[in-house]
Structure formats: C-alpha cells, structure tokens
Structure 1
Amino acid sequence: MRRRLLVLVAATTTIVLVAFLVPLALLLRTVAAERATQSATGEAQALITLVATTDRAQLDAAVVQVDATSPADISVLLPDGTVLGSPATRTPLVELAARGFSATGDVDGGREVVVAVASGTGTRAVARAFIPDEQLGAGVAQSWLLLAGLAVGLLTISLVVADRLGRRLVRATTELAAVSHRLAGGDLAARAATDGPGELGVVAGALNGLAGRIVELLREERETVADLAHRVRTPLTALRLEAEALADPDEAARVGAGVDGVQRAVTRAIEQARRRGSGPGPESAACDAAVAVRERTAFWSVLAEDTDREVAVRVADGPLPVGIGRADLDAAVDALLGNVFAHTPDGTALEVALVPAGGGGAVLTVGDAGPGLPSGPAPRRGASGAGSSGLGMDIARRAAERAGGRLELGRSPLGGLQVVLHLGPPRRP
C-alpha cells in the first residue's frame, strides 16, 4: 500500500510538473531571444541619426565603438557598397532594407535585424545587427537548470509527504489487522486505537464495538450455563439419592455412574464457557485414547445388553496418546454411541475400533447396522432429521478438530453409518 501510494504521488506530481515547467521553459527561451533581439534593434536604430548627420570618419568610429560593446555584430552598409563595423554581406533582408523596409528574420547561425536609413545624399543605407544563436539563448541553460532543480525539489517534497502519510496509513491498517487477529484468536481484551486517519478510525471504533458485543454475549452465555447447571444439580442430587437407595448394589453402581457422567458433562460445559470468556491459553491437553475408549464402551455395553445389541470392540493396546483432554474425548465417544442408540432400533449391531495412526495419534471408528444417514447434504450443527438436537455429530467433529484431526462419514461394513474420527498426537508445549 505504501509503495503504491508513493508511485501514485510520483506519477501525479511528475505530470503536473511537466505540464507546468515545459511551457515555462519554452517561454524563457522565447523571452531571452526577444530580449537579445530588442537590444540589438535598439543599437542599430541608434545609428540612424549618425548616418544622416556625420561624415564618413565619424560614422566609422561610432559604428566600430557600438560593435565593440554590443554582443551582436553591428554593421552599416552604405549605398556605395562600403561596410562599416563587422563584416557583412548583402543578404535578402539587407536588400529589402535598402528599398526602405526594416525587418527582422532568422538566418543560418542566428537572427538578423536590418533598419533602413536615409543618408544625406538621398540614398538609403542599412544598419544591420546579427545576433548569434548563443546570444539568443544566453541565460536559458541556467534558467532550465534552476527549473529542473525546482522540479526535483518539489517531487522530493511530495514523496516525503506521501511517505509519511503512507507510513501512517500502513501502520494504522497493520495495527487494526493485528487487533482483529487477536480477537479471532480469543483475546477479547484486544482493542484498536480509534485515532487512525479517516475511515480507519471509524473501522477501529466499529471493531471495538463488535469486541464489546462479543464479550457481552459470552457473559450472557456463561450466566445462562451457570443457571442451567444450578437447575440440573438439584435433580441430579435426587437421582443420586435414588440410586443409593436401590437394593441391587450393581444396579446402584451403574445408575450412580450415569449420574456422575451427567455431573461431569455439566461441569465440563461450565469450564468450557468460562474458558471461552477468559481469552486464549496454551492448549496442552492430552489423554490415552485406548483407556478412554475402553471405559466408555464398557459403560455403553451394559445398555447394549438391555437393548439386545451386539457390540464388537477392537481397541489396540495402549497407550495411544492423542491431543485432546479426557473429558472432551469421553464426550465425543458418548455422542457417537448415543447417536447409535438413539437413532437405530433395538437389536441393531454396532462396532467400535481404535487403531494407532501413522505419525502419531489414533483413529476411532464407530459403525452400525442401522439405516444410515438420509440422502442429501451432511447434517449441520443444530439440524437433525431424526428429531434430535443435531449437536452430537458436531461435538465429535469439534473434538477431532481440537486434536488436530477431522471427522469423516461413510458406509459401515455392517450396512449402516460409519463415523471415523482422526485424532492427532498431543501438541508440544
């Protein structure tokens, strides 16, 4: 931007200077030539009275004196062919003046001025002044150098001013971009300076307003999550008491584990909301995917027995470290298995596989023998064709992305939907 501004100013200033200085330079050359011509004409005309009133000797002395002091070549051509002063030939202009017509014209090597003079004998003499080209252009070169220096000075000043303006614009734009990148990275305390030039100050003010609105929305979200967590804890406490009152210890332990899972999910939601509002922080979360998948599939296997589902679990020997926290991975596995239980009929078989990935990390595959996804585009966040919230698949997708991986949908070997989570290795601090 700064370079383009300098090029634009340089081009514009150069055009203006050329349009102004070229005619001025030509005018100076014309004025110099006219000044030399007028000076020579005046000197030639000063000899008119001497030709008519003085004798030959005095006239000769006067012409020699004028010729010696004049930058032009001064001559007087008498009717008898005598030439006084500088040597001269009878040019067409001299012949014209001999017939009584004074004139000025350009000839080879300069400019000729002739003045017709009536002599005492009634014949006509000619006073002639020849101005060489170097006299016609005397002082023009110096004037042109002065104009060139003026042009260079004006161009330099314009470039310096443009550079300072461009530097200010670039600095303000760079700072504005840096603030926007900080906001995009989660640093909600970042604010842009509003004293930038022109519209950049307006944009900075709008960006600050947007950042303030984001902070306000996150605060409202945290308050909503906290309120929801407070409301959920009461029925969870009641459920825990009910579980502890069950006569079967195994059943009580299973229900209690489910209540603990809900409690952990609520706590995790609150922590995530707080983290979103507290700015960026280093992500060093990691866990053993093999342990997490075994534990979560063991939990869901109990429900699978109650619904007559055949579950095939193939988990590679660990450890299989992945770049995501245990709570996030548990939530992703629960979301995928929960979708199978929620959207396939009882008795539908499913399989869970976890294998190491090349280069580190792991690949988690969850497939079922259900009807699969409906035809059309893949479901987006908050949208579902089966009456659900549509967030389960998005939870798994975001978990994979936080681990530096991705989510893929396909056809399971069992005939239904297959979801593949690629989980990257832990990030180095």
Structure 2
Amino acid sequence: MRRRLTLLVAATMCLALLAFVVPLALLLRTVAQDRAVATAAADAQSLVSLVGTADPDTLRISVEHMAAGARGPLTVFLADRSVLGSRAPRTSAVRLAALAGVSRTVERPDGREIVVAVLGRPDGTAVIRAFVPAAELTRGVTRAWLVLAGLGVALLLLGLLVADRLSRALVSPITELSAVSHRLARADLTARARPQGPPELRQVAGALNHLADRIQELLREEREQVADLSHRLRAPLTSLRLEAESLAGTDATRIAARVDAMERAVTGLIDEARHRREADAYAVCEAASALRERVAFWAVLAEDTGRAVTLDVTVEGPLPVGVPADELAAAVDALLGNVFAHTPDGTAFSVSLAPRTGGGALLTVADDGPGLSADLAERGASRGGSTGLGLDIARRVAQSSGGRMDLSAGRTGGARVTLELGPPVSPPASPPASS
C-alpha cells in the first residue's frame, strides 16, 4: 500500500509538472526569439533618421560604429550600390524593399532577416538590413530549460519524500492493527492496538480493542460456567466414594481408585476452566510418557472386559508435542473411551506413537470392532447414546497444536483414528529493556 501511494503521488506530480513545465519552456523560447528580433529591429530603426538625412561620410562612420556594437550583422544598402556597415549579400528581401519601399521580417534557415526601407534620399531608396542568427534566437533558452528541469526534479523528489512520510504515517497503524489481530488469533488476548493515525483508523483500533475485551469477557463467562458445571459433579462423586467405602474387598479398592481418578479429572477441569493461561499456545509435553500413563490406566478396564491391548511407542528418548499434558491425556481418554463404548467386550485394540515428519508425533488408536463412519467425527454425533464429544475433543487437541485428525478403517475393518500432533511453538522473544 505504501508503494502504491508513492507511485500514485509520483504519477500525479509528473502529470502536473508536464502540464506546467512544457508550456513554460515553449514560452521561454518564444520570449527569447521575440527579444532578439526586437533588439535587432530597434538597432535598425535607430538608423532610419540618420540614413535619411546624414551626408555619406557621417553616415558611414555612424553605421560602422553601430554595426560594431550590434549583436548581429547590421548593414545599410544605398541606392548607388554602396554598402555600409557589416558585409552582407544583397538578398532578395533587400532588393524587394528597395524596389517596393516596404519593410518586413523574413524567416531564413540560418536566422531572421529584418529589412527597413528608407525613402526620401536624393539618390533613391536606401535599405537597412539587420540579421539575427539562429544562435542568437535561442540564446539562454537551454540554460533556462535546464533550470526548469532541475526545479521539476527537485519538486518531484520533495513530493515523493512528503508522500513517503504520509504513507508511512498511514500504513504504520494498519500494520500494527494487522499484528494485533494476528496475536488475537493466536489466543494472545492481552494484545491491544494503539489508536493512532487518521480518525477512521483510530475508530478501527478502538473497535478491535473492544472486540478483544468482549472475547475475554465471553471466555471468562464460559469458563465460569464450565467450572460451575464441573463443581456440581463433586456431589455425585462424593456419593460414589461413600458407596465404595461401604463395600469390602478388591472391588472397593478398585472403585475407590477410579473415583479418585475421576475426582482428580474434575478438579483439573475446574482449575483449567478458571485459570487457563494464555501461555497454553506455547505449551509442551512429553508425549511418550503421557501416553504410557493413560494406556496403563485403561489397561485395567481392558483386562476386566477381555480386551487385548497393544502399545507400540517407536521413539527413542523424549518426544515433545505442542499441547498441554492434561489436554493430551483428555484426547487419549476420549479415543480409548470410544473403543470401550462402541465395540463389544473382547475387542482388541492397539495404540501406537511415532515421530512426525517436521516435528511432533503421530498418535494412532485402532480397534478390531465394526468401525466408524466419517460423519461421527462431527461434534455431537454418536451412535451409542453418548454425548458424541469424544472425537471432537481429540480433533480440537490436534488442531490446537497445528495438526489434524484422520478417521479411517484399519486393516481388520475396525476404526482407525490418527492424531497428528504438531511440535512445540517457541514464545516470542521479549523486547530488550530500554536504558
């Protein structure tokens, strides 16, 4: 935009300068020609009275004196064929003036010829001839044109400088607005635009800041609602804990452990809803250890339902991904929960983790069940009476890291869900402190 504004000003100024300089240059040339012709005509007219009345000797001395000071040749042709002043041929204009007694100005290839007929001499009509060379007609024109060209270039450069300053003052607020909008898109809700520039841009900056405030307010309300809803789950969890404590044996221990795990999940959900940090956009966790922990948790239930579990983690060392550990655990729980909810008991399933090209990881959960259709990946879609949010949770976790979710059929015809988890994103460097 800045370049386009500068080019627009440059084109406008060039047209204005052409419209001003070209006519002025032509006018200067015309003025120079008229000035040279007028000077030569004045020299010729100054000899008219002298040629008509002076004796030959006085006339010769006066003509030679004036011819020596004239800018061009100045000649007097007498009727007796004698020539006074500058040596010059008797041209057709001179002969015509002598015969007809008329004065005129004649355009010639090498200049302009001015002839003045002087009547009343005893020996006949005399003719005064003044000649203006072509060089004299354009004397000073080239220098004037150079001055005009230099002035035009200086004005053009000055206009471009002013246009660059103005466009910078206009584009800089727009660039800042764009940067703030990108920060808001990356969940940096602390980003605010400074109202600057023209009134319209200040209004846009104010509207963008109002939008960011409104987004923060809506998110805060949503988190409080989620936290309140999660808090309500503690009452039935407490009841389940009491029921578990009333039992005896290994069943009581197992149920109490699951109630504890559910209570921890609810507590984590409340903390996440109320205290989610904007730094989650730059969160990182080690995928291999988080996956092993969740598979170990679900392996107990798999053993109770007669399911064979295969865990394949083909990675050496840590495998960082760009999602928080609790969100990755929620995605794994959602995928494994779908296996238990939508496949009959005894159905085997496998979980694998491998490095992703370009960073991140590929998490795959496959089962030997009846499979899932692609429309079940939509939020709220379910065939088993559940909420239908499991696959949507996994999809959003993958997308938050810059990856995606792929739903396909496995080798045995069952469902195969692959999560592409992106690599961690480094936070922007803090600006150096001013001294």
TM-score, normalised with respect to structure 1: 0.87
Matched with 2:119 is 118
The answer (yes or no) to whether the contact 1:40–1:131 under 8 Å persists in 2 is yes
**Aligned sequence identity (%):** 51
- How far off its partner does 1:36 sit? 1.2
The answer (yes or no) to whether the contact 2:282–2:425 under 8 Å persists in 1 is no
1:314 to 310, 316, 332: 310
Q: Secondary structure at the match of 1:311?
A: coil
1:229 paired to 2:230: yes
Mean Cα displacement is larger for which, 324-333 or 215-224? 324-333
Structure 2 residue runs of 5 or longer lacking an equivalent are 428-435
- How far off its partner does 1:392 sit? 0.7
Shift of the 97–283 alpha-carbon distance from structure 1 to 2, 3 Å rule, reads same
Matched with 2:254 is 254
The correspondence of residues 146-157 of structure 1 with structure 2, limited to 5 A, is 146-157=147-158
Matched with 1:203 is 204
Q: Secondary structure at the match of 1:397?
A: helix
Q: Secondary structure at the match of 1:146?
A: helix
The correspondence of residues 311-390 of structure 1 with structure 2, limited to 5 A, is 311-316=307-312, 321-323=318-320, 324-344=323-343, 346-347=344-345, 349-357=347-355, 363-374=362-373, 379-384=377-382, 388-390=386-388
- How far off its partner does 1:129 sit? 0.7
Distance in 2 (CA, whole Å) between partners of 1:118 and 1:73 is: 22
1:36 paired to 2:36: yes
Matched with 1:90 is 90
Q: Secondary structure at the match of 2:332?
A: helix
The correspondence of residues 125-140 of structure 1 with structure 2, limited to 5 A, is 125-140=126-141
2:413 to 405, 410, 415: 415
**Deviation digits for residues 319-342 of structure 1, max 9, x if unmatched?**
874435543333222211222333
Mean Cα displacement is larger for which, 18-27 or 411-420? 411-420
- Match of 2:326, as an amino acid? A
Distance in 1 (CA, whole Å) between partners of 2:101 and 2:26 is: 34
- Match of 1:407, as an amino acid? M
Q: Secondary structure at the match of 1:75?
A: strand
The answer (yes or no) to whether the contact 1:339–1:392 under 8 Å persists in 2 is yes
Distance in 2 (CA, whole Å) between partners of 1:340 and 1:108 is: 104
- How far off its partner does 1:56 sit? 1.5
Q: Secondary structure at the match of 1:234?
A: helix
Q: Secondary structure at the match of 2:377?
A: coil
The answer (yes or no) to whether the contact 1:320–1:362 under 8 Å persists in 2 is no
Structure 1 residue runs of 5 or longer lacking an equivalent are none
- Match of 1:353, as an amino acid? V
- Match of 1:333, as an amino acid? V
- Match of 2:292, as an amino acid? V
Distance in 1 (CA, whole Å) between partners of 2:245 and 2:391 is: 33
Distance in 1 (CA, whole Å) between partners of 2:336 and 2:223 is: 28
Shift of the 362–134 alpha-carbon distance from structure 1 to 2, 3 Å rule, reads closer
Distance in 1 (CA, whole Å) between partners of 2:55 and 2:149 is: 53
TM-score, normalised with respect to structure 2: 0.86
1:194 paired to 2:211: no
The answer (yes or no) to whether the contact 2:112–2:131 under 8 Å persists in 1 is yes
Distance in 2 (CA, whole Å) between partners of 1:252 and 1:320 is: 38
Distance in 1 (CA, whole Å) between partners of 2:64 and 2:376 is: 110
Distance in 2 (CA, whole Å) between partners of 1:190 and 1:361 is: 28
The answer (yes or no) to whether the contact 1:400–1:422 under 8 Å persists in 2 is yes
What do you get for the CA RMSD once the two structures are aligned?
3.0
The answer (yes or no) to whether the contact 2:28–2:141 under 8 Å persists in 1 is yes
Matched with 1:63 is 63
Distance in 2 (CA, whole Å) between partners of 1:121 and 1:333 is: 131
**Deviation digits for residues 185-214 of structure 1, max 9, x if unmatched?**
322111111112354333322221221111
Shift of the 179–157 alpha-carbon distance from structure 1 to 2, 3 Å rule, reads same
Shift of the 37–55 alpha-carbon distance from structure 1 to 2, 3 Å rule, reads same
Shift of the 388–119 alpha-carbon distance from structure 1 to 2, 3 Å rule, reads farther
**Deviation digits for residues 226-272 of structure 1, max 9, x if unmatched?**
221222222221221122122x3322233323322332332232333
1:49 paired to 2:49: yes
**Residue correspondences, number:** 421
Q: Secondary structure at the match of 1:57?
A: helix
- Match of 2:208, as an amino acid? L
The answer (yes or no) to whether the contact 2:75–2:128 under 8 Å persists in 1 is yes
- How far off its partner does 1:395 sit? 1.8
**Deviation digits for residues 155-198 of structure 1, max 9, x if unmatched?**
12101101211222332233222222322232211111111235
